[in-house]
Structure 1
Amino acid sequence: MHFHAFRRGHGQPLLLLHGLGSNWRTWQPVLDGLSAHREVIAVDLPGSGHTPALDGPVSIATLADAVTTFLHEHHLIGIDVVGNSMGGRLAMELARRSVVGAVVALDPGGFQQGWEQPFFDRTGQVFLGLIRLSRPLMPLLTRTRWGRTLLFAQYSSHPWDIPAELALAEMKSYAASPSVPELRRSLILRGGDVPQGAAIDTLARPMVIAWGHYDRVCLPRQAERALRLFPQAQLYWFEHSGHCPHWDSPAETVDLILKVTGRTSQPYTVRGAEAVGQGIQPSL
């Protein structure tokens, strides 16, 4: 299938995967910093932005099939990848399949358990309904600080600072995506329909799972569950970020991505006193 993709920069390619119902524009706060060092390829995933929806079921597994085909067609197997939320879980699945290189998963989805599953599924349904009903008001709401705060309080630690153009693009994409309801339920209630059994401990390239301390979508407690599945990964805490560190802490996000995915052995620090799981180094 055809993927709509934004490309900028030169050097080793770097794939960016957005979250549920979003589009490539979500990465605008970090594009300049990343493209100064890498060739950035930010795609609209199937059913989002300008990429058509998949035929048949939509899940992390079927999205991974589609992205793998895209990588084969463009001779990008082994590319380093960064994903946020749903895109973070997708990046981890691609690593499990050994089709990508280094991975930075920003607040990945798909690790809800217990009460978190029905609660976030239901709140997601309500939010999507409200966004679709409010579409005529979106240009006004996203143009004001109070409007952006209202719309993005769950996603950002300082939503009033999200650029108005980015906020409007996010709301339009989320409201228009035909895949959001099915993919949200697959991700929250069934872990994305990907294997959740034995831990994956044969990663060939680095993986960092990064989490915002103020994430109100994928709660910080879920980081430990992600690490159980990928015990070789390391955990990085964004001290001042919510669900989207590339919005809340763009300079720190760029620095982390370049260090983790760099072909040289640049050091990076695992942050946060609450680092958990195997393979975690103490914060410095």
Structure 2
Amino acid sequence: MLAYERFGSGEPLVLVHGISHRRQAWYPVAEQLAEHREVILFDLPGHGESPDLVGDGRPVKEILQDHLLELFFELGLERPHIAGNSLGGRIALEAAADGLVSSATGLSPAGFWKGDRDFAYIRAHFAVLMTAARATRPVAPRLAGSGLARKLMLGSLMTHGERLDRDRVVGDLTCMVRARPALKTIMEGAFPFESPIGEGIPVTVAWGSKDRLLLPYQAERARRQLPSAEHVWLEGSGHVPMSDDVAGVVDVLLRGSSHGLRSTIADVGVA
């Protein structure tokens, strides 16, 4: 069974973190969401406190979706709302394409890179992150005591890493190193998102304007591929926007799980 937390009241909203992260990524927005939704956070296999990701010869997409469906079954969830960041956003969109959810929201969802060259950049970015996490882990508790150091350590993922406390940053680094085998398996099985999503399932895609991992040009590719979805910019946010813009992310998630996005958030075009 995957490690999970469940709290709040209202329509169930399942939140899926990104690759090499953990469920605590949602903590900055979880309390406000729980005032309006029953929030379900969980660790993907091979991440956080969940069991290892075990390959069995099937596509990684199928393995991850089976784990998601087992979680739905164990918790008695029938077509819940779902939202995710990065890989979690891709999982959310795939769940919508397969008709498993009532709505899907992706925050910088994976799968909209241009080709092999762009995907090589993503792989290289994670390789650098993983190397840095392993190298700094022995001194992370001391380094993370400084807000400036936290900002620099997390600068490729978010614009305001200093808003996370020391224990969160140290825990995230530890879990990133632990997720290395899962990262390798998922990267080896990656492919662009091309699944059609039925008109009956509302979809929202939000992108951080300062995303340094899945560069913002991918937001325009997502617009073209998902023309019926609502597309939103999170101005000034990085790839993991939950700490960068708490109010904006909460708004997107609540409206996205209210059968479509009806928001006053400025929806500006990609330059």
Show structure 2 runs of 5+ residues with no match: none
How far apart, CA to CA, are the structure 2 residues paired with 1:272 and 1:122?
Answer: 31
Q: Any conservation in 1 of the 2:204–2:261 contact (CA below 8 Å)?
A: no
Of stretches 14-23 and 230-239 in structure 1, the one that deviates more from structure 2 is 230-239
Residue 78 (structure 1) aligned with residue 74 (structure 2)? no
Residue 141 (structure 1) aligned to one of 128, 131, 143: 143
RMSD: 2.1
Q: CA deviation at 1:69?
A: 2.6
Q: CA deviation at 1:273?
A: 2.2
Alignment length (residue pairs): 267
Residue 127 (structure 1) aligned with residue 138 (structure 2)? no
Q: TM-score, normalized by length of structure 2?
A: 0.90
How far apart, CA to CA, are the structure 1 residues paired with 2:188 and 2:127?
Answer: 9
Of stretches 57-66 and 100-109 in structure 1, the one that deviates more from structure 2 is 57-66
Residue 262 (structure 2) aligned to one of 245, 263, 267: 267
Of stretches 221-230 and 39-48 in structure 1, the one that deviates more from structure 2 is 221-230
SS in 1 for 2:40: strand
Aligned position for 1:151: 153
Residue 28 (structure 1) aligned with residue 27 (structure 2)? yes
Residue 234 (structure 2) aligned to one of 221, 235, 238: 238
Q: CA deviation at 1:275?
A: 5.7
Output the amino acid matched with 2:183. V
Q: TM-score, normalized by length of structure 1?
A: 0.87
How far apart, CA to CA, are the structure 2 residues paired with 1:185 and 1:247?
Answer: 29
Aligned position for 1:103: 104
Q: CA deviation at 1:150?
A: 2.3
Of stretches 140-149 and 75-84 in structure 1, the one that deviates more from structure 2 is 140-149
Q: Any conservation in 2 of the 1:236–1:269 contact (CA below 8 Å)?
A: no
Summarize the Cα distance change of 1:167–1:206 in structure 2 as closer, same or farther, 3 Å threshold: same
Q: Any conservation in 2 of the 1:234–1:270 contact (CA below 8 Å)?
A: no
How far apart, CA to CA, are the structure 1 residues paired with 2:252 and 2:40?
Answer: 18
Q: CA deviation at 1:266?
A: 7.5
Aligned position for 2:113: 112
Output the amino acid matched with 2:123. D
How far apart, CA to CA, are the structure 2 residues paired with 1:136 and 1:201?
Answer: 45
Aligned position for 1:65: 66
Aligned position for 1:203: 199
Q: CA deviation at 1:51?
A: 0.8
Q: CA deviation at 1:201?
A: 4.7
Show structure 1 runs of 5+ residues with no match: 277-284
Aligned position for 2:224: 228
Q: CA deviation at 1:185?
A: 4.0
Q: CA deviation at 1:146?
A: 2.6
SS in 1 for 2:27: helix
Q: Any conservation in 1 of the 2:19–2:88 contact (CA below 8 Å)?
A: yes
SS in 2 for 1:202: coil
Aligned position for 1:180: 183
Q: Structure 1 vs Structure 2: percent identity of aligned residues?
A: 31
SS in 2 for 1:257: helix
